[in-house]
Amino acid sequence: MNRFVKTLIVAIAIIAINGCAKEIDFSAAPNNKNCNLTVLQTDLGVLGNLEIKFIYNTEGKLIKAVNGTDFTDYSYVTNKITAVDQDGDVGEINLTNGRATNSKYTYTGSSDNETKIYTYNAEGYIVLVKSYANGVLDLTSELSYTNGNLTQSKTTYEVDGSIEITKHEYTGNVAKTVYELFDPLSNYVDYFPGNYFGKVSKNILAKTSSIYSASNGVKLRDDVITYTYQFNSSGYSTTTTLSQLMNYYHADGSVSSSDTYATNFNSTYSCK
């Protein structure tokens, strides 16, 4: 599944494991009225440091994100937000009563497009995401919640019937601020900053575990990401460490290979 705005978690994982460059996600700005994330920095080892800077308008809305010569510009009109990157690729979300109902990404020089449609429950949480590639259903994600947190998902891939089951675990602490890098909802939606996807999980994400299986039930891969945090005196995370273990399996259930990585993310805020 390719998205115009890819999650930074996936980008870092691919860089760390495969050693190849990947488009960096610029929508990591936090959804918080009092503090805005201004800089997100991480060390990619031999690939150097990644530093994304976020620029806001006087209303506190993100209008630009910059990493070296790469950037994404955000613009806002009634019931629509548009993002355009340095290559001219365009993403947009359409809103109803302030919530995203669908999103679409188109690519410069290509007729390809990707669309997502979002369904909410009565409590205001996204419970169903249908993803389309060029108008054809690509995958379906069903989300479930417990005590105000997104705790489990089931994603079915139309191309081969494979299934991914993901479980999210949380600390007992209430999240002071939520932005894409540490918001599990970002794995399912085309994330735009600013609380446009209904209610977010109320507690701090601690662990994400996924099992990817073939249509016949044979496990192909599992993936565990753990999160540890350092907070400032105001309760905002200034350093977050992601540790990931990925196992790949043979048909007989034995492990064929494993990959691990750990990355620190440093966050700087501007607070009113």
Query: Tell me: the pLDDT tens digits for 32-44?
Result: 457 888 998 987 7
Beta carbons of 28 and 66 less than 8 angstroms apart = no
| Residue-level pLDDT at 24 | 34
Query: Which of 132-141, 186-195, 236-245 is modeled with the greatest confidence?
Result: 132-141
For residue 135, pLDDT over 80 is answered with: yes
For the chain, percent of residues with pLDDT exceeding 70: 83
Residue 177: pLDDT band with limits 50, 70, 90: low
Q: Nearest-CA neighbor of 159 among 135, 141, 138?
A: 138
Would you place residue 6 in the very low, low, confident or very high pLDDT band (cuts 50, 70, 90)?
very low
Distances (CA, A) of 72 to 29, 147, 243: 12, 35, 28
Flag whether pLDDT at 46 surpasses 80.
no
Residue 100 has pLDDT above 90, yes or no: yes
Residue 220 φ/ψ region, left for φ over 0, alpha for ψ in the -120 to 50 degree band, beta for the rest: alpha
**pTM for this entry:** 0.85
Q: Is the pLDDT of residue 150 over 70?
A: yes
Give me 69's structure tokens.
């010569």
| Whole-number Å distance between alpha carbons of 160 and 18 | 25
If you average pLDDT over every residue of the chain, what do you get?
84
185-234 pLDDT, tens digit per residue, is: 988 999 887 889 999 898 999 999 999 999 999 999 999 999 999 988 87
- Domains observed in the chain: 8-271 (2.40.160.190)
Higher pLDDT, 147 or 2: 147
Residue 258 has pLDDT above 90, yes or no: yes
Q: For residue 8, is pLDDT > 80? A: no
Q: What average pLDDT score do residues 60-77 get?
A: 91
- Whether residue 65 contacts residue 72, with contact meaning beta carbons closer than 8 Å, is answered with yes
| The pLDDT of residue 16 is above 90 | no
CA-based torsion, 160, 249, 131, 133: positive or negative: negative
Rounded Cα distance between 103 and 20, Å, is 28
Quick one: tokens of 241?
Answer: 């460490």
Least confident range from 18-22, 23-27, 49-53, 68-72: namely 18-22
Residue with tokens 């575990």: 209
Q: Is the pLDDT of residue 20 over 50?
A: no
> How many secondary structure helices (H) and strands (E) does the chain include?
1, 16
Dist. CA 104–CA 109, nearest whole Å? 16
3-state percent helix, strand, coil for the chain, nearest multiple of 5: 10, 55, 35
Give the model's pLDDT for residue 64.
Answer: 93
Strand partners, 145: 150
Query: In Å, how far are 132, 136, 150, 201, 205 from 115, measured between CA atoms?
Result: 5, 9, 22, 24, 27
